[in-house]
Amino acid sequence: MAVRPILRYPDARLKQVAEPVRAVDDDIRALVDDMAETMYAAPGVGLAANQVGVLLRVFVIDIASDDEPSDLRVFINPEIVETDGTQTWEEGCLSFPGVTEEIRRAERVRVKALDRDGNPFELEADGLLAVAIQHETDHLNGVVMLDKLSAVKRRLLGRKLARAKDEVAADA
C-alpha cells in the first residue's frame, strides 16, 4: 500500500470522466488499498480514483468519526439509481484543500456498485454517507465542487484558490 499524491484543482484530470472498471483484479484491489491509505492520510472521508490520477470508476468512503472503528466502503462502477429529497451540506474536498462550501444534494440515494472483490451490492444511504456518495460520483463524472456553485460563489472561490496557490508558491 502507498499514499498517492492527490490532484488539486485546476488539474485537468479532475474534469475528465472516469472509465468503467472491466474486471476487479489484483491491480484494482491494490488501487483501492492505496486510495484508502491516501484518504486516511489526508485525512478525508472519501476519495475518487481520478483524484489520484487514475481515470477509473472507483471510490472509497469512510464516514466513521475518530472515536469509531473504521467503516471503509468501496464502490467500483457505482451507479446512483434513485434519489429523494434535498439537503444542504457544508462540503470540503481533498482536491480543494482548506475550502468548504454549502452544496445542495439529494437527501437520500440508492446506489448499485461492485465491492472490493467484484461482488455486486445495492445500498440506500442518507445524511453524510449520501452526500459522500454523490460527491465522489460527481468526481467520476468529471464534476468538481466548483461546478455546483453559483457564478458569484465560483468567482469568489476562484479568487480564494488563486490566493492560496500564490501563498504555497511563496512558501516554496
Active site annotation includes 136: yes
Distance CA 8, CA 163 (A): 14
Tens digit of pLDDT per residue, the chain (172 long)? 799 999 998 899 999 999 999 999 999 999 999 999 999 999 999 999 999 999 999 999 999 988 899 999 999 999 999 999 999 999 999 999 888 889 999 999 999 999 999 999 999 999 999 999 999 999 999 999 888 876 777 777 667 766 656 655 566 5
Give the model's pLDDT for residue 99: 84
Of the residues 19, 122, 124, 136, only one is catalytic, namely 136
Residue from 133, 7, 10 nearest 63 by CA: 133
Q: Is 67 helix (H, G, I), strand (E, B) or coil?
A: coil
Q: What is the pLDDT of residue 110?
A: 98
- Count of residues in the chain: 172
Domain ranges for the chain: 12-144
Q: Given this structure, which CATH class describes domain 12-144? A: alpha beta
Round to whole Å and give the CA distance between 7 and 53: 7
The pLDDT, as a whole number, for residue 152 is 74
- Residue 115 three-state SS: coil
CB 76 within 8 A of CB 113: yes
The predicted pLDDT at position 155 comes to 75
Taken in order 140, 141, 145, 146, the sign of the CA dihedral is positive
